[in-house]
Amino acid sequence: MIEVTNLTKRYGSHVAVDDLSFTVRPGVVTGFLGPNGAGKSTTMRVILGLDRPTVGRALVNGRPFEEHRAPLREIGALLDAKGTHPARSARDHLLALAATTGISKRRVAEVLDLVGLSEVADRRSGGFSLGMGQRLGIASALLGDPHTVMLDEPVNGLDPEGILWIRKLLKSLADEGRTVLVSSHLMSEMALTAEHFIIVGRGRLIADMSGSELTAMTKPSSVRVRSPHAGRLRDLLGRDATDIVIRGDDLFDVVGMDADEIGARAWSAQLQLQELTPARASLEDIFIGLTEDAVEYHGATDSTNNTHELESS
Ligand code: ADP
């Protein structure tokens, strides 16, 4: 479990994190989401004791990180995947890390296998691709078999196969009862990876809720209706609806009237319905709406993988 309480971090006059409080619970993947510059990495550094809070505190499994006797067994983190010596092989990097914390060589082989690096484990890590570097970073994070795993932007630079792999890995770690916090500025990726979301903007908490709670926050924008009596239904509903958009012979969308009302009116006119579906905003649309005000600079939509990115200046 990670508990962040009233955390504020200032760099000079710049407030990077502003009175932030949240709890990350075990058993689900929690997404830490917000535009670049929102304060996610700063918060993660404070959780790991790498940065001192100006105000407030962060606890890992009930204690500040530095008060744990064997911190690597409590929390494993990936903050910067380039934190390895380039001349060292993946295996030697992990063996060195294991030696300093009393972790067995067997565990090194296990994590190399877990992240799919066994075959290249004896190559210089300096020659690794970005994706292999991320896998090595994740292997380091998992070395101590920690209760809590925290990864900062782990899918950055990964190919689709690598992204899928991370998604499955995070889910299996959560299913084992671990606490999993993963940050990203990639909305669509997070929507697929996490079940619970902590959304920040300009250092402040914007939302702390499950995906279904987030979706329920928005009203349906329209209701899709399918009926063999579409024409008569359109005439009936058209008097009071804001708009009706014809989608096919037996299909149309109603704007400005909810599904209950449409159903009741169809019933009283004895007109059969075959479909009545409220259209909800996607999680991605909700994220964008929530963080819009917190983005300093509105970045591009990456058309190659249809991923919206929010970037700050
Ligand atoms: P995120 O991880 O959400 O992209 P960061 O935590 O990296 O955000 O940054 C939050 C804000 O704090 C940004 O405006 C960033 O420029 C600033 N910041 C981060 N680290 C430092 C630092 N060491 N010195 C000064 N400002 C910093």
How does pLDDT run across 263-294, given as a tens digit for each residue?
999 999 999 999 999 887 778 888 888 877 66
Please check the confidence at residue 262 and state whether its pLDDT lies above 50: yes
Please check the confidence at residue 73 and state whether its pLDDT lies above 50: yes
Percent of the chain whose predicted confidence (pLDDT) is above 70: 92
- Stretch 147-172: mean pLDDT: 90
Q: Which residue's alpha carbon is nearest to atom 16 within ligand 1?
A: 37
Q: Among 4, 9, 10, 11, say which to mutate for ligand 1: greatest number of ligand atoms within 8 Å of CB.
A: 11
Residue 216, both tokens: 């329920």
Tell me the fold of 2-211: Rossmann fold (3.40.50)
Please check the confidence at residue 211 and state whether its pLDDT lies above 90: no
Please check the confidence at residue 181 and state whether its pLDDT lies above 80: yes
Ligand 1 atom closest to the CA of 43, numbered from 1: 6
Residues 6+ apart with CB under 8 A from 101: 70, 72, 73, 143, 144
- Stretch 73-102: mean pLDDT: 84
Please check the confidence at residue 296 and state whether its pLDDT lies above 90: no
Strand order in the sheet with 2-11: 14-24, 2-11, 55-60
Ligand 1 atom closest to the CA of 45, numbered from 1: 6
- Stretch 139-164: mean pLDDT: 89
Indicate whether residue 14 lines ligand 1 (CB < 6 A): yes
| Nearest partner of 21 among 58, 51, 52, judged by Cα | 58
- Per-residue pLDDT band at 312 (split at 50, 70, 90): very low
Q: Which residue's alpha carbon is nearest to atom 14 within ligand 1?
A: 37
Interatomic CA distance for residues 126 and 118, integer angstroms: 16
Equal CATH topology for 2-211 and 219-291: no
Between 211 and 299, whose confidence is greater?
211
> Phi/psi zone of residue 76: left (φ > 0), alpha (ψ -120 to 50 degrees), beta?
beta
Ligand 1 atom closest to the CA of 203, numbered from 1: 10
- Stretch 247-252: mean pLDDT: 95
Q: Are 108 and 91 in contact (CB under 8 A)?
A: yes
CATH number for the region 219-291 comes to: 3.30.70
Ligand 1 atom closest to the CA of 153, numbered from 1: 2
Name the residue type at position 26: P
Indicate whether residue 41 lines ligand 1 (CB < 6 A): yes
- Stretch 22-48: mean pLDDT: 95
* Residue 254 confidence (pLDDT): 95
How many angstroms does the Cα of residue 42 sit away from the middle of ligand 1? 6
Query: pLDDT for 8-31, tens place per residue?
Result: 999 999 999 999 999 999 999 999
β partners of residue 152: 183
Ligand 1 atom closest to the CA of 35, numbered from 1: 3
* Residue 294 confidence (pLDDT): 65
Indicate whether residue 35 lines ligand 1 (CB < 6 A): no
How many angstroms does the Cα of residue 155 sit away from the middle of ligand 1? 20
Pairing of strands 148-152, 179-184: parallel
- Stretch 50-70: mean pLDDT: 93
Indicate whether residue 115 lines ligand 1 (CB < 6 A): no
Question: In a 3-state reduction of DSSP, which class is residue 300?
Answer: coil
* Residue 307 confidence (pLDDT): 37
How many angstroms does the Cα of residue 37 sit away from the middle of ligand 1? 5
Q: Among 10, 42, 48, say which to mutate for ligand 1: greatest number of ligand atoms within 8 Å of CB.
A: 42
CA angle centred on 205, ends 6 and 45, rounded to 5°: 65
Q: How many other C-beta atoms lie within 10 A of the C-beta of residue 255?
A: 14
Indicate whether residue 40 lines ligand 1 (CB < 6 A): yes
- Per-residue pLDDT band at 313 (split at 50, 70, 90): very low
Indicate whether residue 39 lines ligand 1 (CB < 6 A): yes
* Residue 267 confidence (pLDDT): 96
Indicate whether residue 38 lines ligand 1 (CB < 6 A): yes
* Residue 82 confidence (pLDDT): 62
Q: The whole model's pTM is what?
A: 0.80
Q: Which residue's alpha carbon is nearest to atom 12 within ligand 1?
A: 16
Residue 310, both tokens: 């929010």
Range of weakest confidence among 23-32, 87-96, 205-214, 280-289: 280-289
Please check the confidence at residue 45 and state whether its pLDDT lies above 60: yes
* Average pLDDT of every residue of the chain: 88
Indicate whether residue 37 lines ligand 1 (CB < 6 A): yes
Indicate whether residue 140 lines ligand 1 (CB < 6 A): no
* Sequence ranges of the domains in the chain: 2-211, 219-291
